[in-house]
Structure 1
Amino acid sequence: MSQFPQHKARKRFGQNFLHDAGVIDRIIRSIRPRENDHLVEIGPGQGAITSGLLASGAQLDVVELDKDLHPILMGQFGFLDRFRLHKGDALKFDFRQLVAGDEKLRVVGNLPYNISTPLMFHLLEQSDCIEDMHFMLQKEVVLRLAATAGMNHYGRLGIMVQYHCRVEHLFDVGPGAFNPAPKVDSAIVRLVPHATLPHPADDVEVLEILVRDAFNQRRKTLRNTLKALLSAEEIEAEGIDPGTRPEQVDLAGFVRLANRLARKRSASA
């Protein structure tokens, strides 16, 4: 029995602690940690996945916001030189500071639903130092991340994450694997930053603006949703029917439209 009292999950941190040994083992097997890896775990909680990661012999940094969990984690793992605890908010954390030389980080996390999207984009801003990411997320978020053109969940989130990464929906996890049990299903996703962007944008911020505007009224056609940015003729010039709805346009198509918009803006500057 642990020398520490049972920690009660806190709603304000969006905590749902994983306790199902079968699910934990499947997550570790999906990550396949290696002895020479430099792993980073976001929100280790009570250490359910942490011990499996450390069993590989890898270096592990963990970032935990909840101060009550710090002594629990140090009590379990603090004796290992390969374990380092960083006390703070992952949304504000500089992951590049952990990198030595040309090594790359492998990031793991059971992410609270309320911060999962901003945290992923915070990490993607530092993707030059990341080999891959494995996250437990709300299943609906994973469906949105992995969706491609024409699918129900396809939209702004999937397009912008797929611009930066290869996305793999690995497997689903039911509420019973957690304590307390969430009201929704979860899923494990693997994100692998592209070594070379398959569809590079001239200006990523312009791409973000164009995709946001396109999906603001997703049932309308591009002719209507993008009219403040591009004319129907300009859309058609990129090989896209202006009468198409945004969910029918793939990532490559959105990048072509964004590059046209970037050129148009720089020409008029």
Structure 2
Amino acid sequence: MPLSPTQTRELLEQLGHRPRKQLGQNFLIDGNIVRKSLELAGVSEGDHVVEIGPGLGTLTQALHDAGAIVHAVEFDPTLGAHIERLSENLPNLHLVKGDALDFPLGDLPEEISDYKIVANLPYAISTPWMASVLESRLPSVMTLMLQKEAAQRYAAKAGTKQFGAISIFLHAAFDVLPGHDVSGSCFYPKPDVGSTLLHLRRKAEPFRFSPESIQLIREIFQQRRKQISSLLRKAKNETASRWLAKLEQAGIAPNARPEQIDTESWIALEKV
């Protein structure tokens, strides 16, 4: 069971640790949310699960108790030392004390291709970390606790103000299933913004853009309200020239704005 607010405060005092807002250190204190996370991810015995930012170890303990082999990454030195002490009694917990942007999958062995990610993801790293995951081995499932703003970007559809490059890359590889809003009272300290538990499932045939196309799409979305044909002419590189010649073949109007072009059309443009 998760620690209560009182137990959480007491443990933080014992560790001499004050939650760091800039690192998104809001600790989960609601057992229902922990159970929901494991349920959505379908965690079962023997699963390899990556966890980012284990904090005080509430989710970590639950994953381990479910029989998972947990590969955790903790940036904070004090919390990392705490998780390291916990690992003495958790034989299937493997901890990397470092930055999740440097170790997006922790110490997950290269030969493991079937794995899951379950995490209470710090807001500050959510998009660059997700970009790293999408460019590496794709997990079968991701169940992520995110700030609502990040969750909205991940789930966004074309034509909405939240739709952007990360939305395209994510929707090309994963089905983004309905999320669950989570009350601030489920955390200690209570965050100033809303949170969402988001469930992502890898597509049967996930699509990944080339590194050149990823960079081009990111550049294009810096001017998301300009016409796609104008942006491609301005880019002046081989990929942009190829796309410019193939716009109509991919079913994209030359005067369309990037924010109006859906994921399927971006994929079609890459394929033609």
Q: Which residue of 1 aligns with 2:183?
A: 174
Q: Which residue of 1 aligns with 2:233?
A: 227
Q: Which residue of 2 aligns with 1:184?
A: 193
Q: 1:114-263, aligned counterparts within 5 Å?
A: 114-128=124-138, 130-198=139-207, 201=209, 204-228=210-234, 229-230=240-241, 234-259=246-271
Q: Which amino acid aligns with 2:176?
A: V
Segments of 4+ moved more than 4 angstroms: 1-4, 100-103, 230-234
Structure 1: gaps of 5 or more residues: 261-269
1:54 aligns with 2:96: no
Deviations 1:159-210 (A, max 9, x none): 1222232222421112222222222111112233345235x65xx1232234
What is the CA distance between 1:56 and its match in structure 2?
A: 0.9
Is residue 113–residue 137 contact of structure 2 (8 Å, CA) maintained in 1?
A: no
Is residue 142–residue 169 contact of structure 1 (8 Å, CA) maintained in 2?
A: no
Between the aligned residues of both structures, percent identity stands at: 35
Alignment TM-score, normalising by the size of structure 2: 0.81
What is the CA distance between 1:110 and its match in structure 2?
A: 1.0
Is residue 99–residue 105 contact of structure 1 (8 Å, CA) maintained in 2?
A: no
Q: Which amino acid aligns with 2:188?
A: N
Q: Which residue of 2 aligns with 1:36?
A: 46
Secondary structure in 1 aligned to 2:197? strand
Q: Which residue of 1 aligns with 2:119?
A: 109
Is residue 215–residue 246 contact of structure 1 (8 Å, CA) maintained in 2?
A: yes
Is residue 44–residue 63 contact of structure 1 (8 Å, CA) maintained in 2?
A: yes
Q: Which residue of 1 aligns with 2:4?
A: none
Secondary structure in 2 aligned to 1:92? coil
Q: Which residue of 1 aligns with 2:105?
A: 95
Deviations 1:105-160 (A, max 9, x none): 212211111111111112222225x3222211111111111122233422212012
Q: Which residue of 1 aligns with 2:237?
A: none
Structure 1, 210-219 or 182-191: larger mean CA deviation = 210-219
Structure 1 pair 176/219, CA: closer, same or farther in 2 (3 Å)?
same
Q: Which residue of 1 aligns with 2:24?
A: 14
**Distance (Å, rounded) in 2 between the aligned partners of 1:125 and 1:41:** 18
What is the CA distance between 1:232 and its match in structure 2?
A: 6.9
Structure 1, 21-30 or 93-102: larger mean CA deviation = 93-102
Q: Which amino acid aligns with 1:253?
A: S
What is the CA distance between 1:259 and its match in structure 2?
A: 4.9
What is the CA distance between 1:214 and its match in structure 2?
A: 3.2
Q: How many residues align?
A: 256
1:86 aligns with 2:92: no
What is the CA distance between 1:234 and its match in structure 2?
A: 4.6
Q: CA RMSD in A?
A: 2.7
Structure 1 pair 235/23, CA: closer, same or farther in 2 (3 Å)?
same
Structure 1 pair 51/84, CA: closer, same or farther in 2 (3 Å)?
same
Is residue 95–residue 107 contact of structure 2 (8 Å, CA) maintained in 1?
A: no
